[in-house]
Structure 1
Amino acid sequence: MSIFSKLNFKDQAFRLREDAILDATTTILASKGFDLMTMDDVANQIGISKPSLYKHFKSKEDLVGAAMIRLIDGAISQLESLPESLNAKEKLGALLEWALRVRLGGGLPFLPSTSNAVREMLMRNLKYVGRVIKLNNQLEKLVIRAQKEGDLNPDLHSDVILFSYYARSCDPAVEYLQKFSKMDTDSIVENMLRVCFQGLEKISK
């Protein structure tokens, strides 16, 4: 085996371990939150030493930042992969469905909405901020287009719709429904989408 092949294999192994670290981080964040999560928690969950973990990420802040960047990248990739045949509202609905399913699977901690300290920490991460701005711009354009197409209320300010949309992705009702209702994942997702886009009023037929 050539030196290049060996290096390539080592790079692949490094990347796989990093993915495992981020998977563990996301799971722990979703269950314990930022303040209670420790680097020991992450290292123990994937069975590596803490010094090995620090070879990938030098601090808990860097680790959480990387995990959140990966989540935002996942949302951007999901949005960009949607068929062009979908209209703006359908794309918004499809992305929210994806986010809710990831969340119900324990893969989407809603950190910035629960802690000022975490929000300030993430705002210092320029890479994260850049990804958030990119996603926000894409979603804002979809909201405005859906309003122009008559699929979302044109009388509401687009920011009200956009931030209400964001709120649905971190609505604590999702966890309550998952823990205390008899609804399955599909039913929870379907009903949360209806609340987001149709509200709580009965629709006259």
Structure 2
Amino acid sequence: MSILSKFSFKDQAFKLRENAILDAATAVLGSKGYDLMTMDDVAGAVGISKPSLYKHFKSKEELVGEAMIRLLDGAIEQVAALDAALNPVQKLSALLEWALRVRLGGGLPFLPSTSPHVRDMLMRNVKYMLRVVKLNRQLEGLVKQAQKEGLLNPALPSDAILFSYYARTCDPAVEYLQKFSKMADDDIVRHMLTMTFGGLTR
């Protein structure tokens, strides 16, 4: 095996372990929250030592920041992959469906909504904020285009629609339905989308 191949294999193994760490951090955050989560929890979930974990991430703040950046990258990729033939509301619905499925699968779409400390910490993370600004700009464009086409209420401020849309991604109704109803995840997603875009009235 050449030296180049050895380095390439080592890099791939390092990246795979890093992704496993981010998966574990997301799962632990989903179950315990940021304040109760420890680096020991994450290392144990991955099956590595804490010193090995610190080779990848120097602190809990850095780890959580990277987990959220990866999630935002996933959302941005989803927007880029949307069918151009869809209208703006259909695109918004498709992205919300993705976010709800991430949550139901143990993901963590919008952690900042749960903790002022986490929100402040992430706002100091330049890489994270650049992605937030990019995604917000894209979604704001879809909302305004939908209003222009009469697909969303043009009398409402676009910010009110946009932030109500964001709120659906962290609506506790999702967890309640998953824990206490007999609905399948597909049904939960379908009903949440209907209530978001169709409302509660007949």
Q: TM-score when scaled to structure 2?
A: 0.99
> Which residue matches 1:120?
120
How far the C-alpha of 1:118 sits from its partner, in A, is 0.5
Residue 130 of structure 2: aligned partner? 130
Q: Partner of 2:170 in structure 1? A: 170
Tell whether the 8 Å contact from 2:18 to 2:56 is kept in structure 1 after alignment. yes
8 Å contact from structure 2 (residues 100, 169) kept in 1: yes
Deviations 1:161-187 (A, max 9, x none): 000000000000000000001111111
Contact 1:29 1:109 in 2 (8 A): no
Contact 1:30 1:109 in 2 (8 A): no
Matches of 1:46 and 1:148 in 2, distance apart? 48
Query: Do residues 40 (structure 1) and 40 (structure 2) align?
Result: yes
| Inter-partner Cα distance in structure 1 for 2:151 and 2:181 | 31
How far is 1:5 from its partner? 0.8
Alpha-carbon deviation of 1:110? 3.2
CA RMSD of aligned residues (A): 0.7
Measured after TM superposition, the shift of residue 194 of structure 1 is: 0.9
More deviation, 63-72/102-111: 102-111
Counterpart contact for 2:102–2:109, Cα < 8 Å: no
Task: Give me the whole-angstrom Cα distance separating, in 1, the residues matched to 2:20 and 2:105.
Answer: 16
Identity %: 73
**2:4 counterpart residue number:** 4
Unaligned runs of 5+ in 1: none
Spell out structure 1 runs of 4+ moving beyond 2 A: none
Amino acid at match of 1:61: E
CA contact (8 A) 2:22 2:63 kept: yes
Q: Match of 1:105?
A: 105
- CA–CA distance in structure 2, aligned partners of residues 110 and 158 of structure 1: 20
Matched with 2:159 is: 159
Report the number of matched residues: 202
With the length of structure 1 as denominator, give the TM-score of the two structures: 0.97
Report deviation, 1:108. Answer: 1.8
Query: Structure 1 residue 186 and structure 2 residue 179: aligned?
Result: no
Q: Distance in 2 between matches of 1:109 and 1:151?
A: 26
Q: Does 1:21 align with 2:21?
A: yes
Instruction: Report the CA distance between 1:109 and its aligned residue.
Output: 5.0
Aligned to 1:94: 94
